Structure 1
């Protein structure tokens, strides 16, 4: 690969900087306190499958665009229906739909972003809606120079239009931007759009396959900052 020369770092948020499953588990558990771990995981999987499927349908043009707020509400209703809760709790579904805005950061996230911000402009690039991203950033203590929502492109990653948001806002060619994610599918799409790529290992996400060739592989954000410092 050519020498890594970048002008800004672009971060995926959900999963990469915050523990999305943990936040959703907490919301699901609050919906029904009698749930055991297996039941919570079953409902979490139902939520995740719905979000992934519907975002893909929208990106593929099979469904008109709706924000992530709508998709979260749909997922929350599916979970409540599957558990037989409905909305008997007077707003229980609405409360569950907001669980995706209360996600805890990974232990290294806040300090890692601060360290990287000393070297580069940082851009958040998320499938979360503008409202959800604002609440999520505030809850997790994420600090950006710019936070971009896929809502501005009216589609979802891995649609190229979402990555183009970062290119347009930065005013730099894509090869001067480094996309950081724990989802290999996200990095492949960014790579196809011309961005440089860095995989950060997390307990969740989509690990690289043997055929993937990303520019950097990091154990956490401290490791990423150290590698970029050497580069």
Structure 2
């Protein structure tokens, strides 16, 4: 991979949504929590879960609350979901809180990472905590040379401090790193720090707008 700024030396991957199907894993956890829920009920609870996680991460980014790792946010979201579903079983809620560590990979993820790992150092860069990221990587069979958690920066993407973790670990200037994500907001933030960017289309991603200009666009990791 060549072009602006010379040859890419390190590839950095977003994890949640880009390499694993996060909503599918959370839905599975909800079905186990409350088997009587129908599809519309699952979607309602999924929305509740996502709104809580995104809202609390935004509060951290805005300085409205101290940093709290993703594990704690997941436990909060699990309690909210259980209350909404009428479930009062602490063990079931604790299991639900771990759903974010049991996310299925997209069909092309394993082969795509293996192929790229033969050519580049691969870094995973995730908002998941260190502990959650370990479990998630093991469950999904993700191949990394290094996995970095936003916990190390005590903030969340799209804070520049998170992307700076990957730049520092790589030992390369930002323009020698390629950030791969299914979320345009993620790539915009990486771009702001000087990384090159590749958008990968996923059903659960945040698609680019007409104003976005990324270095690469792909339908997946195959090929």
**TM-score normalised by structure 1 residue count:** 0.93
SS at match of 2:8: coil
In structure 1, how many angstroms separate the alpha carbons of the residues matched to 2:196 and 2:174? 8
Unaligned ranges ≥5, structure 2: none
Q: Is 1:91 aligned with 2:91?
A: yes
Alpha-carbon shift at residue 207 of structure 1 (Å): 0.5
Partner-residue secondary structure (3-state), 2:198: strand
Task: Check the 8 A contact 2:11/2:121 in 1, yes or no.
Answer: yes
| Alignment pair present for 1:199 and 2:199 | yes
How far apart are the structure 1 equivalents of 2:16 and 2:162?
Answer: 15
Instruction: Give the C-alpha shift of residue 4 in structure 1.
Output: 5.9
- 1:8 matched to 2:10? The reply is yes
CA distance in 1, matches of 2:90, 2:57: 28
Residues 1:211 and 1:143: Cα distance change in structure 2 (over 3 Å): same
Q: Which moved more, 1:1-10 or 1:15-24?
A: 1-10
**Could you give the per-residue CA deviations for residues 193-231 of structure 1, whole angstroms, max 9, x where no partner exists?**
1100000000111000011000000011124xxxxxxxx
For 1:221, what is the secondary structure of its paired residue? coil
Alignment-derived partner of residue 210 in structure 2: 210
Using the alignment, how far apart are the partners of 1:162 and 1:3 within structure 2? 22
Q: RMSD of the alignment, in Å?
A: 1.1
Moved over 6 A (4+): none
Structure 1 partner of 2:127: 127
The TM-score with structure 2 as length reference comes to 0.97
Give distance in 1, aligned partners of 2:51 and 2:163. Answer: 23
Q: What is the rounded CA distance, in whole Å, between the counterparts of 2:86 and 2:180 in structure 1?
A: 39
Check 1:4–1:106 CA distance in 2 against 1; reply closer, same or farther (3 A cut): farther
Equivalent residue, structure 1, for 2:48: 46
CA–CA separation in structure 2 for the residues paired with 1:83 and 1:173: 49
| Aligned mate of 1:37, from 39, 45, 57 | 39
Mapped to 1, the partners of 2:181 and 2:38 lie a distance apart of 31
Cα deviation, residue 57, structure 1: 1.0
Residues 85-104 of structure 1, C-alpha deviation per residue, up to 9 Å, x if partnerless?
Answer: 1xx33411111000000000
The alpha-carbon distance between structure 1 residues 90 and 52, as it changes in their structure 2 partners (threshold 3 A), is closer
